[in-house]
Amino acid sequence: MLILCVEASHRKGLGHLFRAMTLCRHLEVENLPCHLLINHHPPSLRLLTERGIRHSVIDLDDPSPWERDWIDRLGARAWIDDRHDTSEAHGLRIAAAGIPLVTFDDRGPGAAHADLHFAPLVFNDRTRLRGRKIFTGPEFLILTPEIHDQRRPRKQLQQLIVSLGGSDTYGVTLKVLRLLRELDQPATIHTGPAFAHRNELQRLADRPWPILEQVDSLAATFAGFDLAITGGGVTPFEANAAGLPCLVVANEDFEVEVGEYLQQRGSSLFLAHHEQLSVRQLRLGLDIAQQTLETMSRRGLRQNPDRGAMNIVREIRHVL
C-alpha cells in the first residue's frame, strides 16, 4: 500500500487533489494500491466518495507523530505528499519510519528529506527545490487519461469556455466574465466544486454566458469547445493535449512562467496575471486565437498524455 497525503481548501485549490486522484489511478493499474489521506474539506470528500477512491480524513495540523500510526496501520511501502508546504518535523518522521518519501511541488522544509521531488511546472530556476532527486518540467506532468477519448484538432473558433480552477480562489472568473461582457463575446462559464462566488456570478451571467457547475468530466466537457480561458496550472496542459488551445490567465505568480512556456511552445497564448488583465489584452488574445487556432491545436496534439504519469510511476518503483 502507498499513502498519498493531500491538502485541499478554497485557498489552496483542488489541483493537488485532482493530481493525487489521477496518480492513484495510474498506480493502481501498475498493481500499486493507494490510500489517500486528506484534511476535512467537504467538496473534496464528495469527489473521493463519488469516484470510489479509498480515503481517510486527518488533521494535518496535529502536532503529534500521527504519520507512524497510519504507516503501521496500512503497511505502507512509501509516503507521497502533495501538500505544497510540508514541515521539517513531518519529513523527519517519514524518514525515521524507514520508507521512501515522495513529494510534489513542495516548498516547505520537509522536502529536504524527500527521496523523490517532482516539480513539473518548474521550467527554469531549480535552486529553491529540495530533495535527493529532483525532477522538473512537463515530462513529469500527470494528465488525466480521459484525454485519450477526447482528442481532436480545432479549426474554427465557434465555442469558447472559461474554466479557472476547482476553487478559483481570487474570483478571476468574475473578472473575465465582466471583460467578455464588454466585448459582447459569448462564452460558457465552468465553475469547480469549491467555487465560492456563485451568487455574484449568477448576477453577472445571462443568456450568452451559460454556467456549468461541477461536471463529471472536464475532459469530456472541453471536447465540445474550440478555445478555453484557463488558469496556469495543469488544466491548460490537459486541454492542449486534447487539441484545445487556451488563453492562459495566471491566478498565482508561478503561473506566469507556465503561461509563457505554453505560448513559447505554440499551443496556447498567455494573456496576463489576473491582476493586470485588461479588456485590450483579452481582445487581442481572442483575435490572435481566431487566426492561429488550428496551428495551436495541432501543436498541442503532439503530446503523449500518459508520458508524465509513466515517468513518475517508474521512478517510484525504483525507490520501493
CATH code of the domain containing 212: 3.40.50.2000
pTM of this prediction exceeds 0.85: yes
Q: Which residues of 124-142 are buried (b: 16+ CB within 10 A; e: fewer)?
A: eeeeebbbeeebbbbebbb
**Structural domain span for residue 224:** 145-300
| 284 in the same domain as 310 | no
pLDDT of residue 166: 81
| 151 in the same domain as 296 | yes
| 136 in the same domain as 179 | no
Please state the separation of Cα 192 from the chain's center in Å.
12
Tens digits of residue pLDDT in 259-313:
999 999 999 999 999 999 999 999 999 999 999 999 999 999 998 888 999 999 9
Query: Around 255, how many Cα atoms within 13 Å sit in the side-chain half-sphere?
Result: 24
CA dist 210 and 303 (Å) reads: 31
End-to-end CA distance of the chain: 11
Listed as ranges, residues in the chain with pLDDT below 70 are: none
| 190 in the same domain as 173 | yes
| 245 in the same domain as 229 | yes
> Mean pLDDT, the chain, as a whole number?
94
pLDDT of residue 15: 83
The cell 465540445 sits on which residue? 224
CA dist 75 and 257 (Å) reads: 39
| 246 in the same domain as 277 | yes
CA dist 181 and 114 (Å) reads: 47
The cell 520501493 sits on which residue? 320
Q: Which helix (H) or strand (E) holds 191?
A: strand 188-191
